[in-house]
Chains A and B, each alone.
Chain A
Amino acid sequence: MASPVLSVNHVVKTFGAKRAVDDATLDVMPGDIFGFVGHNGAGKTTLIRSIVGVTGFDEGDIRIAGQSVRTDALACKRVTAYVPDNPDIYEFLTGIQYLNYLSDIFEVPADVREARIRQFADRLGLTSALGDLVSSYSHGMRQKLVLIGALVHEPTLLVLDEPFVGLDPEASFQVKEMLRELADGGSAVFFSSHVLEVVEKLCDKVAIIKQGQLRACGRTAEVVGDESLEDVFLDMIDRGATASAAGAR
């Protein structure tokens, strides 16, 4: 059996007294597109930021391609790409300068990077704007640029936080295709989203997080059952609200 690309083992992340991520455990296998859903403030972005090495965590371990994020962060970063929820990137660079910068950082050879940039930029309709400053880009264009930058080094693990926000329908379709192609090539995709229909259709596996705890995790078909993901998610929220109200009484 193949080893997981991403393995989150009993991870705890606290902010003061608050447990933002509480004993989270999940595995993402090669070829998986893994959806990660939860309401605002549930802990999605916190766990994602811990996975990509932006922030530390207090307990447990996160392993990427067999390496520990805690003890061998650089090895993990080399095979990971991250697309944050806000495409905040260096506005003083042109699109192509940004992509070259990332390619240099990830040490992608010149001929390989050009072929990949051409391919992805053409598919997302961004090629003609690559010579312009990022400061002149719209939100959606920046999102596309960040995606191309994430894919340019063919990551083993692609982590995305709300990747479909700001994308036009055509780009959204292309991104879904690109994620599927990446997964079919043996990489893994882990992304958070509030667009439950997309998660349900695109993802092989799904996890639902609430108040820092994973409430459901597994194959999408198993988690959803006969219902839709939206029904399952809302049911979980309602149950929580009812329990809270009962507790309050």
Chain B
Amino acid sequence: MRSFILLLKIQLLGLFGINKTLHADPAKARRTLALAALAVAAIVLFAAAYSSGVAQALVEMGLPEAVLLVAVLVGAVAGAVAAFLKTNGVLFGFKDYDLVMSLPVPTSSVVLSRIASLYAMSLAFGLLAMVPAFAVYAANASVTAVGVACMALSAVLAPLLPLAAAIVLAVLIAAVSARFKHANVVVIVLTLAAMLAAVFGSLAFSSQADDMAAMTVLGTELVSQLAAVFPPAAWATAGIVKGDLAAFLAFAAVNLVAAGAVLALVVRLFVPVNSLLMSSRPRGTFSFDGKGAAAAKAGSPLRALMAKEARLLVATPIYFMNACIGYVLVLVAAIAVAAGTLTGALSLDLLPPELVPVIGLVLPWGLAFFCSISSTTAASVSLEGSSRWLMLTAPVPASTVLWSKAAVNLAIGLPFLLVSAVLVAVSLPLDALSVAALFAVPSASCLLATSLGLALDARRPRYDWTTVYEPVKRGMPVLVVVFAGMGLVAAGMAAALFLGQAGSLLAACAVAAASVALYRSTAKRGLSA
């Protein structure tokens, strides 16, 4: 137990650079803590507003039970998705594996400390989704003391089963991919497949719901469908609403047994899978006379830097998934729009006439949303890590290094955006200004995410990470880009609704100009050691 606590403490001290902050000079620590507090407050407020808004809507539809079902389901699954993305890097393939495993502590303690940090993250996501919804439910229904206790226990237990499933899936992907030469590409493909399956699964679920005629029928169907998708959520709901302790015990037992089983499984597989992932040996088959003769091709420094950035992206699944999933999703959404229009399932004629112009106004910002909340640049400088001496001693201006990082994001993002805009433009009957906005608004948003991410990461890079998860998922620049992107889309939609499509186009021009100015200032400032 002591070793588990010590290992967990080390992990938690590394979390968000807490230990570094504690040992920094007091003024800097205060600034960092204030920024962190602001970010946390923003996340909590946003999540609370969203969760309670959805819950209130369900209550007004006469579906208070659905509030609990949705809360438990969403809270559990959201945490599991985050844990799934984090597993490779926390549980497997982490940098200090050799050091940790050489310590005189049982493997089970090491595994438990790492799963505990995954659980803590799942729990945080779960609480953000569940607590506001539970509060809305409690305000609108009579809840007994048993119900309150069940609510509290639900929040703690609900993430366990999806977390267990997420870990099993991540272990399988890691184990399968380790057998391939280009393991990281396999991880990206498998992870993308898993995420797209989840997206299409939820779309199928929604479209079934859309077919329902009356709201009451929809409510009943929704509850039964949610219960069928995730029965433990229904059992938890029964415990909270009806005081059905047998159902609640079943919910608790399923979660605890799943967690225990996965813990046992991972303890067994921890060393073999990590060994498989980390003990690759050179094959030693290179020769200048074979394919190697063509290997020594010359290119410009910028091209070399860009190729290096692209290779890093493809070789680091979590980086790719975090920074590029928006581009994949925007294309998926555009294909869905095109397919829906082609098959007749989606038509503006089905909407009330007064809503049709609104679609044209908000659609560009809808596309922009996907590409404005992430950028490869937001972690690209930090990811130089302990290899940063190469970047810092290279005989190229810092502006070239920074431009290579920005250019890679634009080279990936803009083609996705342009193809998506073309698909939407030919699928829907939009006027010329709306079509122009379809191209201009997402492109400008992509520019802003690119230059903002780069500016923040170049100014305050975090080179001392032990897993790429730290700069890629927990880095301050990444979080700021997410919130700035959300804010931009909200402001853009408001501008479009109040000023019309011209407002959108003006906003896009202003955002693009600001992005270019920000990039130039970043390039002038240079790189930090």
Contacts and interface: CB of A to CB of B under 8 A. Distances in A.
A105 interface: yes
Nearest to B303: A104
B23 interface: no
A163 interface: no
Given A55-B529, A93-B311, A105-B395, A127 B297 contact: no
Interface centre among A96, A110, A114, A131 (most CB of B within 10 A): A131
Contacts of B298: 103-104, 108-110, 113
B387 A105 contact: no
A86 B390 CA distance: 12
A74 B392 CA distance: 10
Interface stretch (B101-109, B278-286, B445-453): B278-286
Interface in A96-121: 96-97, 99-110, 113-114, 117-118
B311 A110 contact: no
A233 interface: no
Nearest to B279: A136
A110 B184 CA distance: 30
Q: How large is the interface on B (under 10, 10 to 19, 20 to 34, 35 or more residues)?
A: 35 or more
Contact of B288 (A102, A127, A129): A127
Contact of B390 (A90, A127, A136): A90
Contact of A96 (B295, B308, B312, B394): B295
A92 B316 contact: yes
Nearest to A55: B529
Nearest to B390: A89
Contacts of A78: 395
A101 B296 contact: no
B179 to A, nearest CB: 15
Interface in B294-321: 295-301, 303-305, 307-308, 311-312, 315-316
A128 B387 contact: no
Contacts of B395: 74, 77-78, 105-106
Given A96-B295, A100-B297, A106-B395, A114 B288 contact: yes
Nearest to B401: A105
Given A55-B529, A105-B304, A89 B284 contact: no
Nearest to A107: B301
Contacts of B396: 74, 105
B301 A136 contact: no
Interface residues of A, number: 48
Given A100-B296, A105-B301, A113-B296, A92 B280 contact: no
Nearest to A78: B395
Contact of B286 (A88, A104, A105, A127): A127
A92 B311 contact: yes
A54 interface: yes
Contact of A129 (B284, B299, B307): B284
Contacts of A107: 301
B287 A128 contact: yes
Contacts of B390: 89-90, 102
B207 interface: no
Interface centre among A49, A52, A136 (most CB of B within 10 A): A136
Contact of A88 (B287, B295, B307, B387): B387
Given A92-B316, A104-B303, 11 more contacts: A74-B395, A88-B387, A92-B184, A92-B311, A92-B312, A100-B297, A107-B301, A108-B298, A128-B287, A131-B283, A141-B282
Interface of A: 49, 52-56, 74, 77-78, 80, 82, 84, 86, 88-90, 92-93, 95-97, 99-110, 113-114, 117-118, 127-133, 135-137, 141
Interface of B: 184, 280-288, 291-293, 295-301, 303-305, 307-308, 311-312, 315-316, 385-387, 389-390, 392-397, 529
28 contacts: A49-B529, A53-B392, A54-B392, A74-B397, A78-B395, A88-B389, A90-B311, A92-B184, A92-B315, A96-B295, A97-B295, A101-B308, A103-B296, A104-B298, A105-B304, A105-B396, A107-B301, A110-B296, A113-B298, A114-B288, A117-B296, A127-B287, A128-B284, A128-B286, A129-B284, A131-B286, A131-B291, A133-B280
